[in-house]
Chains A and B, each alone.
Chain A
Amino acid sequence: MNRIWNLIATEARIELRERYALTGILLYVLSASFIVFSIWRQLPPKEWGLTFWVIFLFCSLMAVLKTFGKESEGRYFYYYTLYHPLELFTAKVFYNLGLLLVIFFTLWLVLSVIAGNHFLRPGWFLVTGCMACIGLSFLLTFISSIAIKTQQNASLTAIMALPLMIPVLINILQLTAYGLGTTPDDNPWNEMMLLTSMISLVSGMALWLFPYLWRS
């Protein structure tokens, strides 16, 4: 556990040293929501939820894309000898989880400021968002670990990750609609159960397969 924390700290230090990276993501969030809002002019609750997740999707793709991209070949080898793949993976997942949470809260804040906060049940949305961040950070970290081994890293991450994200995203959208009060459905526990089981599936598969894909 300590070793994982070390890895995360190193990761964060590198990220903060190159300040443009984190600021870049935040700017991306800001400008994307600004563009969307200037197109729509107003966001009724239903569209608010959809817009939120569309922007979140692309921002998270942007942010996670660089997970394995930063390191040179040499450092991979170094990591491989030093850490167990699972340690490395967990560290990356936690680090990405942090990034996604930052994006989530920033985006929520930005959209609330420019388009208003429409939530009937903000608590539900908070829980949904956190679950989404956990699930997507596992999924995206796993996919980018595959994509890094190919020639077209950036485009392949998007191509492979987007369709895989959709089942999770559909669930999240339903739960968001419940949070916003735009659905007649008043029993979200089914969806919550499905989301939880999908996230555990994704994380379980990713944890199982990553060590196998990593050695090369």
Chain B
Amino acid sequence: MVVSVSLALLMLSATDRPTTFRLAVWKWGAIVLLLYVFIAGWIVPLHPGIIQVNPGTASAGDTVTLEVKGYNTSFLRDTSQLSAWLRLSGDTVLKAGHIRVFDDRQLKARFYIPAAFPFRSEAYPLTLIVVNGADGASVLPNAIFASPAVRHQPEEMSLWTQHKLQGIQVKAGIQYPFRNILAETIRNTYFHVPMWFAMILLFGVSAFYSLHYYRKGDMDLDRKSVAFIKVGLIFGLLGLLTGMIWAKNTWNAYWSWDVKQNMSAIALLIYSALMVMRSSVEDDLQKARLTAGYNMFAFVLLIPLLFIIPRMTDSLHPGSGGNPAMGGEDLDHTMRLVFYPAVVGFILLGLWISQLVYRVDKLKGNTWS
């Protein structure tokens, strides 16, 4: 944040007419970072995972044959260590009695669910783990739900601890984690999320210039703050659009009245209102002053809107139920290597476009006055 703000200041101080055109270093930085993000974001494969399990329920004391559909898996390549597990918790695991592999993506595993559980519950969610030499472990949390046994048989309790799940090899090479439901769309972390970072930062820079205008009253500062708002709106709109495409295919609706969706839409409304307000004032000085006042006011209200309220309410967003998507587990080490450059790259791109808009507005002001 601090780096980008200082960069923003730097770039706007360096707009004196150069004799020959040379692209500023930070613009090259934006290009390089975005190229890296688009390439790495697309070519790094996803860790093998399990997409589907059939059936979804089983009753205790029965044998169940699970039809497992893998994603990015290669079940056939190294069958020496092939095994399948159902995990209740920690070391309470069941090993599949028999596994039949059809191809790289499909196998059937037969489990016997014991008629006794270590604790009482209405239904027992079981995590499916498929291990093989090539893929390491592919995991699907809550793959099936086991209902309690009709006839409780305490002697079968020992089946839960008969085998130990250990010595799983980690798949070699870099890959993004496979998350249930998200699958490949985990890559949207690099494209959708930075839009919001860029928007907030652009609005912040704009509020900063409004504060400057409030102090100094220089029309140029007003032009700067408006340029940042315009581009911030574009980025906000992009965040909303990309989020909607994703939501349609994940939550089955473009708009699910999720807190974050609502809050960001409101943020866009606030700033659109600012642009409408600007267009309905004729006097330039008046316009600049009202913009500065409303902009600072809006930005201060934006902070609870975007940072506090979403944290206080449950959200459908990945990594939610308290903390928005930056939680430690949701963003693993490999993803950080692309995510942070993505954020910086898109922010720089936003600053770049804002600078262009500002320069155009400045030219326009000069030709007319």
Contact = CB atoms under 8 A, between A and B. Distances in A.
B212 to A, nearest CB: 13
A147 to B, nearest CB: 8
Contacts of A142: 297
Contact of A167 (B280, B281, B293, B304): B304
Contacts of A149: 281, 286, 290
Contact of A202 (B269, B301, B308): B301
Interface in B292-338: 292-294, 296-298, 300-301, 304-305, 308-309, 312
B211 to A, nearest CB: 11
A183 to B, nearest CB: 11
Chain B interface size range = 20 to 34
A1 B286 CA distance: 30
Interface in A197-216: 197-198, 201-202, 205-206, 209, 212-213, 216
Contacts of A4: none
A160 B281 contact: no
B294 A163 contact: no
Given A198-B304, A202-B301, A156 B280 contact: yes
Question: Main SS of the interface on chain A?
Answer: helix
A38 interface: no
B273 A159 contact: yes
A196 to B, nearest CB: 12
A166 B269 CA distance: 11
Contacts of A151: 280-282
B290 A156 contact: no
B266 A163 contact: yes
B276 A159 contact: yes
Contact of A150 (B266, B290, B300): B290
Interface in B121-169: none
B304 A213 contact: no
B100 to A, nearest CB: 47
A151 B285 CA distance: 15
A163 B273 contact: yes
Interface in A128-153: 142, 146-147, 149-152
Nearest to B289: A213
A164 to B, nearest CB: 6
Interface string B220-239: 00000000000000000000
A93 to B, nearest CB: 15
Interface string B259-285: 000010011011001101100111001
A191 B273 CA distance: 27
Contact of B290 (A146, A170, A201): A146
A190 B285 CA distance: 42
A182 to B, nearest CB: 15
Contacts of A170: 309
A194 B280 contact: no
A190 B308 CA distance: 11
Contacts of B267: 163
Nearest to A150: B280
Contacts of B301: 164, 167, 198, 201-202, 205
B36 interface: no
B26 interface: no
Contacts of A147: 277
B273 A160 contact: yes
Contact of B309 (A146, A160, A167, A216): A167
Contacts of A202: 301
Contacts of A146: 277, 290, 293-294
Given A166-B266, A198-B304, A212 B277 contact: no
B296 A209 contact: yes
Given A164-B301, A167-B305, A191 B294 contact: no
A201 B282 contact: no
B197 interface: no
B293 A156 contact: no
Contacts of B276: 156, 159
A138 B294 CA distance: 14
B214 interface: yes
Nearest to B290: A146
B286 to A, nearest CB: 6
Contacts of A159: 273, 276-277
A85 to B, nearest CB: 12
Contacts of B280: 150-152, 156
B207 to A, nearest CB: 11
24 contacts: A142-B297, A146-B277, A150-B277, A151-B282, A159-B276, A162-B269, A163-B266, A163-B273, A166-B266, A167-B301, A167-B304, A167-B309, A190-B312, A191-B312, A194-B304, A194-B308, A194-B309, A205-B296, A205-B300, A206-B297, A209-B293, A212-B214, A213-B293, A216-B285
Given A146-B293, A150-B280, A209-B296, 19 more contacts: A146-B290, A149-B286, A152-B280, A156-B277, A159-B276, A159-B277, A160-B274, A160-B277, A162-B269, A163-B273, A164-B301, A167-B305, A194-B304, A198-B301, A205-B300, A212-B214, A212-B289, A212-B292, A213-B293
